[in-house]
Amino acid sequence: MPRYALKIEYDGAPFVGWQRQANGLAVQQVLEEAIEKLTGQRDVRVQGAGRTDTGVHARGQVAHVTLEKDWPAHRLQAGLNFHLRPHPVVVLAAARVEEEFHARFSAMRRHYLYRILNRPAPPALDRGRVWHVPVALNAGIMHEAAQALVGRHDFTTFRASQCQAESPVKTLDAIAVERVGEEIHITCSARSFLHNQVRSMVGSLKLVGEGKWTAGDLRAALEACNRAACGPVAPPEGLYLMRVDYHPDPFAAAKTENGIAGGDARTPRT
């Protein structure tokens, strides 16, 4: 049966997260319901690249679904977007892929962005989409301190107590902190992350930025391998799953067909 990859954008505020749960509406659920309405296929299962938490957003989530019949990719995309309304979920691109493709296990790298609005006034237009920190933060010092997190480490300190990963050891490929106007952007890239790892690292870096922690304190927290050594966890509303990398890019051939740059969800500069 034909398999399709979907690139998805969503506002995480109304959802309990990506994964279906008994306690509320999930992004996975509304996608599966839209596919059933469009295709008539029952018991559809959509597999995502990342299980984003309650309130976390995505600009480049990737999922795959196996259907009973062939669909032109552009028709599948348009039909799903019609049936997804009024939920704040949009399919940015759709592409036919090999049966071996798996949105989660075939992923080479995941890229996250965390947005901190760093000004005295709270957000109006971006309420629920940024973490408002009114105290001035030093992005340069945060960036320098964050480099201690790069590489292969035991990230127990920055791991949620309910994390189900078999091992706390992960390799963080890159982390960068920069000021973009009134915002602080923290970008992280790795093949995979622990539950709450990015938000935990951001919360500790915020302490560095406001002068409550030094770079040495951050390194000591990492080396402690103890959840109690972590700073306060940053709230979910500032976190975005920006892009998931695959080789080959499943959306490369869909760029022209779908009329968009299907493989290019880059960090915003606004």
SS3 per-residue string spanning 209-258? HCCCCCHHHHHHHHHHCCHHHCCCCCCHHHEEEEEEECCCCCCCCHHHHH
The reported pLDDT for the residue numbered 254 is 62
* Both tokens assigned to 185: 């952007």
Report the mean per-residue pLDDT for the chain.
92
| Model pLDDT, residue 266 | 39
Q: Residue 22 has what pLDDT?
A: 86
With pLDDT > 70 as the criterion, what percentage of the chain qualifies?
Answer: 94
pLDDT tens-digit profile of 115-136? 999 999 999 999 999 999 999 9
Q: Do domains 3-106 and 109-241 have the same CATH topology?
A: yes
* Token pair in block for residue 189: 């890239």
Is 53 one of the catalytic residues? yes
Give me the pLDDT at residue 1, please: 86
pLDDT in tens, 135-148: 999 999 999 999 99
User: What is the per-residue pLDDT for 263?
Assistant: 40
**Residue 162's pLDDT is what?**
82
Q: Which two tokens stand for residue 215?
A: 């770079």
The domain limits of the chain are 3-106, 109-241
User: What are the tens digits of pLDDT across the range 3-31?
Assistant: 999 999 999 999 999 999 888 999 999 99
At 183 the pLDDT is: 98
Segment 227-266, tens digit of pLDDT: 999 999 999 999 999 999 999 999 987 654 444 444 443 3
Is residue 267 scored above 80 in pLDDT? no
What pLDDT does 68 receive?
93
> Is pLDDT larger for residue 51 or for residue 174?
174
CATH entry 3.30.70.660 includes domain 109-241: yes
Other CB atoms closer than 10 Å to residue 51's CB: what's the count? 16
Taking the whole predicted model, whether its pTM rises above 0.75 is answered as yes
| % of the chain surpassing 90 pLDDT | 87
What does CATH list as the number for 3-106?
Answer: 3.30.70.580
Task: Give me the pLDDT at residue 255, please.
Answer: 58
Measured between alpha carbons, how far is 168 from 150 in angstroms, rounded to an integer?
15
pLDDT for residue 43 is more than 50: yes
Q: Which of 53, 70, 154, 245 is catalytic?
A: 53
Closest CA to 94 of 201, 267, 222, 250: 250
pLDDT tens sequence across 187-238: 999 999 999 999 999 999 999 999 999 999 999 999 999 999 999 999 999 9
pLDDT of residue 256: 47
Q: Which residues pair with 17 in a beta bridge?
A: 53
Confidence bin at 164 (pLDDT 50/70/90): confident
Structure confidence by residue, pLDDT tens digits, 84-102:
999 999 999 999 999 999 9
pLDDT at 261: 43
